[in-house]
Amino acid sequence: MSERIKVNRQAIRAKWKDLYNVKTARKQNKTKPKNFIEPKPNAKIITLEKTFPNIKQKTLTECIKSRRSLRSYAKTPMTIEELSYLLWETSRVEYIEDNRVYKTIPTAGATNSGETYIYINNVEDIENGIYLYLQNEHKLALINQASDIEREVNQAILRQLRKAHVVFFFTSVASRVEYKYDFVGPKLIALEAGHACQNLSLAAEVLDAGACAIAAYDQEKIDELLKIDGEDHFTVYCATVGKK
Q: Which residues of this chain interact with ligand FMN, rule CB under 6 A?
A: 68-69, 160, 212-216
Rounded to a whole number of angstroms, the minimum distance from the CB of residue 97 to ligand FMN is 31
Of 213 and 222, the one with the shorter C-beta distance to ligand FMN is: 213
Asked if residues 102 and 93 have their Cβ atoms less than 8 Å apart, the reply is: yes
Contact 201, 191 (CB under 8 A): no
Q: What is the DSSP string of 44-98?
A: -EEEPPS--TT-----HHHHHHH--------SSPBPHHHHHHHHHHHH-EEEEET
Q: What single-letter amino acid sits at 13?
A: R
* H or E element at residue 170: strand 166-173
CB nearer to ligand FMN: pick between 202 and 212: 212
* Nearer to ligand FMN among residue 60 and residue 215 (C-beta): 215
| Closest CB to ligand FMN among residues 174, 212 | 212
- In the complex, the smallest distance separating the C-beta of residue 64 from ligand FMN, rounded to whole angstroms, is 11
Residue number, 128 or 160, with CB nearest to ligand FMN? 160
SS3 233: strand
User: With contact defined as beta carbons under 8 Å apart, do 64 and 199 qualify?
Assistant: no
| Pairing status of strand 233-243 against strand 129-134 | unpaired
